[in-house]
Amino acid sequence: DGRLTFYPGNQTVDLPFVNFMKRYGTVFLNAYTNSPICCPSRAAMWSGLFTHLTESWNNFKGLDPDYVTWMDLMQKHGYYTQKYGKLDYTSGHHSVSNRVEAWTRDVDFLLRQEGRPMVNLTGDRRHLRVMEADWRNTDKAVTWIKEEAVSLTQPFALYLGLNLPHPYPSPYAGENFGSSTFLTSPYWLEKVTYEAIKIPKWSSLSEMHPVDYYSSYTKNCTEEFTKQEVRNIRAFYYAMCAETDAMLGEIISALRDTGLLKKTIVIFTSDHGELAMEHRQFYKMSMYEGSSHVPLLVMGPGIKEQQQISDVVSLVDIYPTMLDIARIPVPQNLSGYSLIPLLLGKAEDEASPRGPRPSWVLSEFHGCNVNASTYMLRTGRWKYITYSDGHSVLPQLFDLSADPDELTNVAIKFPVIVHSLDKILRSVVNYPEVSSSVQDYNKRQFISWKQSLGQNYSSVIANLRWHQDWLKEPKKYENAIDKWL
């Protein structure tokens, strides 16, 4: 959970390099993703635009490959740029399953799309490099800093994208299933304090919000879990955070060893959080804190040390911030606002020419494991979540100051607040219209995919990630799709 792991005073797992960044830099306590899934959130981060503007509706549909990102602009303005690891912001990635599950979310059926979440301990106490691909990319970045960056005559921008912390693919469930295995080694698990792990409270299945129930079901979380299973999943997740922290440490150490640290701004953030059995879910795709809240730490020359900022910020702010750092004029059409005034401790009134940063952030989700377009407005103590057209599914309102675990929906109790938050949301995005255009898009995409398969359609659709459920009654599910079409 982004809050537990990255909040100051966290007792669950030791993250020495995140703590180093807190000590010598600034931590944003209320940073959010603009869409809690890989591709759409990265599209927001690389473009500075909200999801409904990039139309990045699912994990397959991101930015066009020729979109001008902040890194492209920095390169154009004399920066040497280098990228390693997971990028994942252009269209055309992720499996057929991801797409079809997103397109068919309006179909009247419930199918498990993921393996049951579980843990797997690998190797022994000497096994440090569990996520080998991430370590290889970290090594490449370290080598680049030590061999290339150090002798550059121009300024540089280096990006390193990691997969961790993220559940691994689950071979036990068949090759088509998603990633539902929390994997670590004894080396990292020993860094987690089991006693400090909170077991999240769950509502009963019958009391769950209908969209939450759909998510829990498709994520294979509606059956029984013992306290020990839940505690283990959470512990393994924290252990994966510790391994991630060590990769951050390699970068910081390489910058320190080359003398570059004192003249380099370092930003550590994530495309989304990862639920670890809060609200009876794992994975992301949810507006609950564990999934939508992200770490955001910044340190470097001019950045205030030991500063904790409670203003709400989000990933669309990265684009204008990077341009601001490089003193490149910031385009006026962006959804985000530069973080530099906050980082330098400046008063808001001397901030951007566009006027002050809004007091809210927006996150939205249109992809798989959720059966309605979802919109979240976070401002002050409130988190307002509304679905679809705004009335066919009940909205949710959480008072995060009184209810940080988001267990009590107070939307009915505070109609005036719901009304005013909904008004702000509609001034930013005409969300009933967006929901309806996503529905049209899903149907169009599904129809052309179905036609492209011809005779093979029935066998292909039966063997996607929901195959274990589907194959019990294939005709029933095909008919549900026909009825939807």
Indicate which residues carry an active-site annotation.
Answer: 38
- Residues 18 and 366: beta-carbon distance below 8 Å: no
Q: How many helices (H) and strands (E) does the chain have?
A: 18, 16
Distance of CA 224 to the CA centre of its chain: 27
CA 63 to centroid of chain Cα atoms: 16
Cα 106 to chain centroid distance, Å, stands at 23
For residue 91, give both structure tokens.
Answer: 């269209």
The structure tokens 């912001």 sit at 89
d(CA 445, CA 99): 9
The two beta strands, 179-184 and 118-121, are parallel
Q: Are 212 and 365 in contact (CB under 8 A)?
A: no
Burial class of residue 21 in the structure, from the number of CB atoms within 10 Å of its CB (0-12 exposed, 13-18 middle, 19+ buried) = buried
181, amino acid identity: T
The one-letter code for the residue type at 190 is E
- Within 369-428, residue ranges assigned H as helices are 415-428
Do 166 and 83 form a contact (C-beta atoms < 8 A)? no
The secondary structure of residue 404, as a DSSP letter, is T
Q: Which residues contact 310 (CB under 8 A, 6 or more apart)?
A: 29, 30
CA–CA–CA angle 130, 135, 140 (5° rounding): 170
**Cα 117 off chain centre by:** 18
Bridge partners of residue 85, in order along the sequence: 161
First vs last Cα of the chain: how many Å apart?
38
CA 108/CA 214 separation, integer angstroms: 11
| CB-based burial label for 227 (10 Å; 0-12, 13-18, 19+) | exposed
Tokens 């995060």 appear where? 400
Report H helices in 289-430: 289-292, 318-325, 340-343, 415-428
Give the closest residue to 434 by CA, choosing from 475, 381, 382, 386: 386
**Residue 58 contacts residue 99 (beta carbons within 8 Å):** yes
DSSP state of 316: G
Residue written as token pair 């004399």: 78
Specify the length of the chain in residues: 485
